[in-house]
Structures are given as C-alpha cells and as structure tokens.
Amino acid sequence: MQQPAILARGHWPAERVRARWREELYEPPQDKAVAADAAIAALRERGSPSHDGLSARLIAHAEQGDELLLELQPVRWALRLVDGDASYSLAALAVTRAADGRWLAGRRAPWLSSWPGRWALGAGGAVDVGESPAQTLSRELDEEWAVQPERLTVEALVRLPHRLVMVVGLAWLPEGAEIEMDDEHDDYAWWPAEVGQWPAEADEPLRRMATLLARGA
C-alpha cells in the first residue's frame, strides 16, 4: 500500500479549479470489480441506503499559473469501497469554519460506507460526473448542513494510502450562519478555533489536517 501524499498544495479560489472530463468509463480489473460487488452488497446487508452509480476518478493533475487543472473520468462509485485500492476514485472534503474561527465537526452515522461512527470536519462526498470538485464542495456543504460558504478555497489534493484521492477545501461561513444537520450525521459540535483546545474525540489525523489548513488560511 502506498504512503499518503500531498499531490498539490496551494490556495486556489474555487473558480480557479478546473476539471476536464474524458468520456470513456474506467474499466477496472476483474478482481476489483468483484470486490466492488461484494462491498456494495455488504452495505445493503447492514441496511445502508448507499447505492452504486458513477462518480469521478483522477487521471492526472497540473498546476498551471494560478489554476489547478484536474483530468477526470467516470468510474463506478463502489470501487472506492475496495479494500486497499480505491482505483484513484475522487472525493471532495469541505473543512468548514464559522466566521469566528470555530470548526464544524460532525459524527458520521453508523450506516455510512466510509468512516462510520467517526468524527469528521465539515462536509464531503463523491464528485458527480461532469462536476468540478470545487462545485462538489459547495454542494456537499448545502446537502449536509444546509449552508453556503461566504468564501471557499481549494487547499490541497491528497492521495490516501488506499488510493482514494481527496480534494480538500476550506469553507468559511458568513456571520450568523445557522446549520441544519442531515441524516448522514448523528451529532455535531463547534470545536474551538485553537486546535489545541479540541475535545478528546478529535483524533490525530483531524488535528493534523486542521493545523495544516490553519497555517494557510
């Protein structure tokens, strides 16, 4: 398994992140397709409403001037569930902060396909076919918390050890913004602006991510 890696690190306004989509669907090796079938079946057996479909896979990326360029292709969503190899499936994570600097944290519902029962920052999910990952950030924030950011930037492109690639964004909410929690979470909290004051449920990867983002904010 590969080590985690930051593929690109910047501070790109959402409109400076561009996606070019290929038309052809990614065809995985047969063993990966079988593993994806088993993974989606296991989700259904435990009562998850998650369903298969199409999302995005990263083919290549480049930093050109003040833009981040991403080359994507459609991929079967369930491939992201394959143990040890997500086939470079692409997800977007909008780490979210209040106007006063607090961090929005939500505990993920136990039926979810990834990180069930764990605390996460902001909102995230798969990139839809034809969508720019920067659009995904705003869409997921609206779907999960019913808010729109006042300011949104893309901060990093990260490859996780199991070959899931994440577009990490930073969303700042307007003063007085009120959130509404969706059914993908069973609890939420506003963690202090100072990462060192976070509660015990904030695990080390979340602390590292927030510290990295705070340095570039």
Q: Name the pTM for this structure.
A: 0.93
Other Cβ atoms closer than 10 A to 212: 16
Is residue 84's pLDDT more than 70?
Answer: yes
pLDDT band at 51 (very low <50, low <70, confident <90, very high): confident
Residue-wise pLDDT for 104-160, tens only, equals 999 998 887 777 889 999 999 999 999 999 999 999 999 999 999 999 999 999 999
- CA 78/CA 54 separation, integer angstroms: 8
Q: Calculate the average pLDDT of the chain.
A: 93
Q: What is the mean pLDDT of residues 36-40?
A: 93
* pLDDT score recorded for residue 116: 84
* pLDDT score recorded for residue 216: 63
Q: Is 115 in contact with 50 (CB distance < 8 Å)?
A: no
| CA dist list (Å): 108 to 83, 115, 167, 177 | 20, 7, 19, 22
CATH code of the domain made up of 5-216: 3.90.79.10
For residue 186, the Cα-to-chain-centroid distance in whole angstroms is 18
- CA 203/CA 201 separation, integer angstroms: 6
User: Is the C-alpha dihedral spanning 145, 58, 158, 87 positive or negative?
Assistant: positive
- CA 54/CA 37 separation, integer angstroms: 14
* Residue spans per domain, the chain: 5-216
Backbone conformation region of residue 54, classed left if phi is above 0, alpha if psi is from -120 to 50, else beta: beta
| CA dist list (Å): 173 to 22, 147, 151 | 34, 8, 7
- CA 11/CA 67 separation, integer angstroms: 10
